[in-house]
Chain A
């Protein structure tokens, strides 16, 4: 069961011109959250902005969680100005976690700031010595600060990066890495079934068919993002159409099977 707690800011560090790393002391959430779940976080104090915002957790230890966020509008701009020892109300853990089968090869596919929940999952797979690889599409060299941080968590032999202009890694979107990842899997893990877990912008998720065709994975899971007011299944603000009916991204997701989602309706 999720709870509300007061989280203390331990660190709110700028990694790029608009991406921040926020470390919070939040005992209940830290000791209960699983990879793929999220928290709702008050961006500031008082009634404006009114709603909490959903954020995936990227790293956790016994008493702290770390969130990676991009400064976009009012809420995240205010969040970026908060200082160490400021206290924020946080609700969590919320939603359903990632789950790939034991023994499968997990291919993690990230777009932009969608790296956050996959970073958490990758650490689990590393600890469990479960085979995986991460491919990540970013905009350009301006993301270097975040790339450097990710490299401190995930060893470079587990990851390839593509950038739109080729200023970091390969040139193109994340799917230019399809062939190289196909080679890695067929050379090192030819017997393994493949399961894909993806998080990123909607256009990227809609193109997951590219990987489906190339790799014939057993399952593809996506972590979706929608505007939401509560985060715990009450408001129905984040409902989406799936093949098994209307589902709430916050409560029934945010992780869904790719085949279940009716993409044209998103």
Chain B
């Protein structure tokens, strides 16, 4: 086993950042509530993502927002958030204090380039409180005909390049599995100097109310998360980590240590967990313990297991 002591066994490096553990809480899960952030950091989270933020306040979608499916759930929340300015004025200080050793990851939804610019200018004023900006490119590009930013290589290039020019600290890009060629999108993120890619956001799905004879969600389609999507997310992590040299953060359907370990064996440097926290709020601790036991049992460092399944 390499030189890691027990305390640093779970540390993982993403660009210039050293995370205390490879388990990060994904965006959209925790409220901006310092008590909950404190609990999660005490459980050993590598990082905690904010809710998805936009320049202007959003009330979110009307109608049904949550619908349970086999081993997962569909959501159509619609980025309900207080807007960047209110977030920075009201919450960032307390969350920064609460997050302890965990990294504070500000999830920023890309809607238009001008909003992205304005948001980043505001964010820069509070940059000491923020470790990472994670770009969410799963929103429709209204200027570009409504296709998701992350489905289109040219749009992705514009968004990442814009963000990189305005944000000097760590920049991660959360990719959408709806992209036709996610490897191509990941390569563009790397070329535009993103520090990492998160693979991936929710899969689009839908539900139909057979009695009302119409879709359950007002926006028809919704994001599928939970263990139902794990094998598909794992597949994307495997593919993307072959295509880029920057770190890949695996995300999608992780519920147990075995899933997180599989993601890392497939090439992920860290993982994000989300829906499982709705079921088990101690998941960060449970998954970290499982990873630690695996490393000790197999006499590996965390770094050594990244992508090891490919070398088999």
Contact = CB atoms under 8 A, between A and B. Distances in A.
A251 B31 contact: yes
Contacts of A234: 28-31, 36, 277-278
Interface in A19-69: 42, 47-52
A251 B80 CA distance: 15
A236 B279 contact: no
B278 A239 contact: no
B18 interface: no
Nearest to B31: A233
Contacts of B65: 227, 236-239
Nearest to A52: B279
A235 interface: yes
Interface in B262-297: 275, 277-282
B35 A1 contact: yes
A168 interface: no
Query: From DSSP, what is the main secondary structure of chain A's interface residues?
Result: loop
A87 interface: no
Interface string A245-266: 0100001000000000000010
Nearest to B58: A246
Contact of A228 (B30, B36, B66, B71): B66
A42 to B, nearest CB: 7
Contacts of A246: 59-60, 80
Nearest to B72: A50
B64 A227 contact: yes
Contacts, number: 84
A91 interface: yes
A10 interface: no
A228 to B, nearest CB: 7
A50 B73 CA distance: 8
Nearest to A49: B68
A91 B66 CA distance: 19
A232 B31 CA distance: 8
A208 interface: no
A142 interface: no
Interface string B44-88: 000000010000000110101111111111010100100000000
B22 interface: no
Interface string A201-243: 0000000000000000000000000011111111111110100
A134 to B, nearest CB: 32
Nearest to B67: A227
A173 interface: no
Query: From DSSP, what is the main secondary structure of chain B's interface residues?
Result: loop
B282 A4 contact: yes
B257 interface: no
B179 to A, nearest CB: 25
B94 interface: no
Size band of the interface chain A makes with B: 20 to 34
B181 interface: no
Contacts of B69: 50
B170 interface: no
A14 to B, nearest CB: 25
A167 interface: no
B73 A91 contact: no
Contacts of B64: 227
A123 interface: no
B67 A50 contact: no
Contacts of B80: 236, 239, 246
Contacts of A227: 64-67
A251 B227 CA distance: 26
Contacts of A193: none
B59 A42 contact: no
Given A235-B28, A235-B66, A48 B71 contact: yes
A43 to B, nearest CB: 11
Contacts of A42: 279
B102 interface: no
A251 to B, nearest CB: 7
A51 B73 contact: yes
B275 A50 contact: yes
A89 interface: yes
B280 A229 contact: no
Contact of A47 (B75, B77, B255): B255
Contacts of A49: 68
Given A47-B226, A47-B227, A50-B72, A233 B33 contact: yes
Contacts of B279: 42, 47, 50-52, 89
A194 B51 CA distance: 41
Contacts of A251: 31
Given A227-B65, A228-B66, A251-B31, A4 B75 contact: no
B174 to A, nearest CB: 17
21 contacts: A1-B35, A50-B72, A51-B279, A52-B278, A89-B279, A91-B281, A227-B66, A230-B29, A232-B31, A234-B29, A234-B30, A234-B36, A235-B29, A235-B66, A236-B51, A236-B80, A237-B77, A239-B65, A239-B80, A246-B59, A246-B80
Given A1-B35, A230-B29, 20 more contacts: A4-B281, A47-B279, A50-B69, A50-B73, A50-B279, A51-B68, A51-B73, A51-B278, A52-B279, A89-B280, A91-B281, A229-B73, A229-B278, A232-B31, A232-B36, A234-B36, A235-B66, A235-B75, A236-B77, A239-B80
